[in-house]
């Protein structure tokens, strides 16, 4: 295995994965900050593929927060049922819509602290919205793929998403923060899988410490 410090390792990982994934965008289908917020909230413990089946109907019925805030829990739950945890997600989305309408005139806020005040929005979701919808890199979204791969590569020793994020933002240039989630998520789905990582065809094989494998 090639030896290098963590900063150089992070840069090498970014360079190699960008060759594999030259065009980066979220796997969720969306057209504006409101749609991305809804899709990301629904994606918790649900596949992006399944969310993309739900959102066309959702966005047709509730194209803006003004539309959703007046809807009943039962009506929303019926539409998002297949996303799992549908009652809680429905409750959070309705509550978030009401806050967005009352405080921000129907516009999804573009500040971390304001996003975190919305029901159902944690740092991962807020980072995804800020980076993808507003072009603001304020952190790195840490999901299950980022968590797993960061540990395997030796970029972080923690299992806590907040600590992992702090570790990663010290290693990667700020202009790459928004890309890191995309790169590691796609890579985690295709190569560095949870149960059977395909190390033999991995372009990071020679620089990976393979922790936990």
Contact 32, 61 (CB under 8 A): no
Do residues 181 and 140 make contact, with C-beta atoms less than 8 angstroms apart? yes
Of 61, 138, 63, 65, give the one whose Cα is nearest residue 104: 65
Integer angstrom CA distances of residue 15 from 20, 64, 66, 160: 9, 38, 43, 26
Report yes or no: 180 and 132 within 8 Å, Cβ to Cβ.
no
Q: Which residues are catalytic?
A: 124, 143
Please state, in angstroms and rounded to a whole number, the distance separating the CA atoms of residues 172 and 150.
12
- What are the structure tokens assigned to 18, written together? 């960008």
């Amino acid at each position: 295995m090639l030896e290098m410090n963590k900063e150089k390792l992070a840069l090498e990982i970014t360079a190699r994965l960008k060759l594999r994934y030259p065009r980066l965008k979220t796997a969720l289908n969306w057209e504006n900050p409101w749609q991305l917020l809804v899709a990301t909230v629904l994606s918790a413990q649900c596949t992006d593929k399944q969310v993309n089946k739900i959102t066309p109907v959702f966005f047709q019925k509730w194209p803006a927060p003004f539309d959703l805030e007046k809807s009943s829990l039962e009506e929303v739950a019926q539409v998002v049922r297949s996303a799992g945890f549908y009652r809680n997600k429905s409750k959070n989305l309705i509550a978030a819509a009401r806050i967005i309408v009352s405080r921000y005139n129907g516009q999804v806020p573009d500040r971390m602290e304001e996003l975190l005040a919305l029901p159902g929005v944690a740092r991962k979701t807020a980072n995804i919205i800020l980076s993808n919808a507003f072009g603001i890199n304020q952190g790195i979204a840490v999901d299950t793929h980022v968590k797993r791969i960061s540990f395997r590569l030796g970029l972080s020793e923690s299992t806590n998403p907040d600590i992992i994020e702090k570790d990663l933002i010290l290693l990667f240039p700020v202009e790459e923060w928004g890309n890191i989630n995309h790169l590691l998520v796609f890579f985690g789905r295709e190569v560095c899988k949870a149960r059977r990582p395909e190390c033999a065809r991995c372009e990071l094989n020679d620089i990976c410490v393979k922790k936990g494998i």
